[in-house]
Amino acid sequence: MKKITFSLFICLVFFQGNSIAQNDSKPETLFGDSGLVNTKNLGFFVAPSYGLTQMDGSNATLLNLRSGISFHDNLTVGGYFSTSHNESQPQSETTGNTYLEYWSVGGFAEYTIFSKKVIHLTFPLYVGYGEVQMFNKNGVAGLGKENLLQIEPSAFLEINLFKYTRLNLGAGYRFVGEMDYRNLNQSDLSGLTAYLGLKFGLFR
């Protein structure tokens, strides 16, 4: 009985070893050249941009920075930060010598078509959390602050300047969730923003 068991064990080891030797395929992995996510198709970028918009009837400039990881230079996911740059005096504000400060942070998803063409289109969608607060020349005006949620679909025309650099220009519409800050509400902060920016990264 022991001899039969030992013989079966030897046969099993032999056939298994022979099967492995004949199988030239690589093991399946999550990441890597043969994985579910092919690292050869992964890229990334950092994109600073300048925005021009209106908040409560006054012109406001925005400084933006976003970064993301792209798949096949087609679908990108990442994060962003945006903050107001100029001292914008809201039209509805009754206290003199004050200006509105705004910032927002969150995530985005971006879909790009014909990215290998010199000129192509890309469509970012931003979803974030932000804050507005009144300041004056001496700092915080002591008028409280208000948090907000926002979503901003955008459309950009993008130009491949160099292998690792792209120029983009376009616009987005900022939808702000329900809020109430002094004489401001969501309709005063929602609106169109024009953007001009650059992308630096590995596009593949």
What is the tens place of the pLDDT at every residue in 172-184?
999 999 988 888 8
For position 140, what pLDDT does the model report?
Answer: 65
What is the rounded distance in angstroms from the CA atom of residue 67 to the CA atom of residue 79? 6
Q: What is the residue extent of each domain of the chain? A: 39-202
Q: In this structure, what token pair is assigned to residue 114?
A: 């014909």
For position 28, what pLDDT does the model report?
Answer: 59
- Alpha-helix residue ranges (DSSP H) falling in 117-200: 186-189
Higher pLDDT, 172 or 85: 172
Strand partners, 128: 106, 150
Handedness of CA 139, 143, 144, 146 (dihedral sign): negative
Higher pLDDT, 173 or 100: 173
Residue (of 172, 140, 159) closest to 64 by Cα position:
172
- Whether the model clears a pTM of 0.75, i.e. scores above it, the answer is yes
pLDDT above 70 covers a percentage of the chain that reads 77
Q: For domain 39-202, is the CATH number 3.40.1360.10?
A: no
